[in-house]
Copies of this chain bind each other. A is one copy, B any other.
Amino acid sequence: MLENDIKTLAASGEKGLIELVMASHAGMTTDEFEQIVTDWLATAKHPKFKRPYTELVYQPMLDMLQYLRDNGFKTFIVSGGGIEFMRPFTEKVYGIPPEQVIGSSIKTKFEMRNGRPVLVREPEIFFIDDKAGKPVGIQKFIGRRPIAAFGNSDGDLQMLQWTTAGKGKRFGLIVHHTDSEREWAYDRKSHVGRLSEALDQAQTKGWVVVDMKRDWKVIYPFQRE
């Protein structure tokens, strides 16, 4: 990363990214880390869209979350991303409170600093919430099997399998990024967010596959204007 080798970093996947953040922020308290995330989100802008990252959310996803909650569902985020990175913005952006956000995380340690209790980030992985780790994380953090699951990569394969193997009616959906103009187009050959095996299994398992280019009139909220 110091040599600006983004390709190698990308190839290292979720685990590589977690390890990078882990090493760079060890020794920091969780409160300090949250402040860094909050400050970064308030100022950083996406190089292509020139907008804050918190505006680059999918309108159809927001609609779906609202629709589910209006019908008595409780909604969760189950991401391979860092849990402490997501929680500061998920309630405002997705209407999902911190305790309903599951993700990868590093170990933390309770200690007293200047007579005050703090939680300190340690340079060790606690949990990787990706691939076969997703159903494990769901069981650990939520404690019951979802009725419906939505994914967009092979990192979601086991979560979709676990969810739709439950008794009674279940629902699985995959968003296929097919829109190189309005967003991006990638699937089987991508280093980040590869979508291949899950796409194949969608056919036999009866999971809905959303073709972004064909099926989504609007992608980002600001495009409604």
- Report A's interface with B, CB cutoff 8 A: 30, 74, 76, 83-84, 87, 98-101, 105, 108-111, 116-117, 119, 126, 132-133, 135-136, 139-144, 158, 161-162, 165
Contacts and interface: CB of A to CB of B under 8 A. Distances in A.
Contact of A158 (B100, B110, B133, B135): B110
A172 to B, nearest CB: 12
Nearest to A134: B110
Nearest to A131: B110
B117 A139 contact: no
B110 A135 contact: yes
Complex copy number for this chain: 2
Contact of A136 (B84, B109, B135, B143): B109
A87 B119 contact: no
Nearest to A86: B143
Given A83-B143, A99-B143, A141-B141, A165 B116 contact: yes
A158 B84 CA distance: 21
A151 to B, nearest CB: 15
Nearest to A107: B136
B30 A117 contact: no
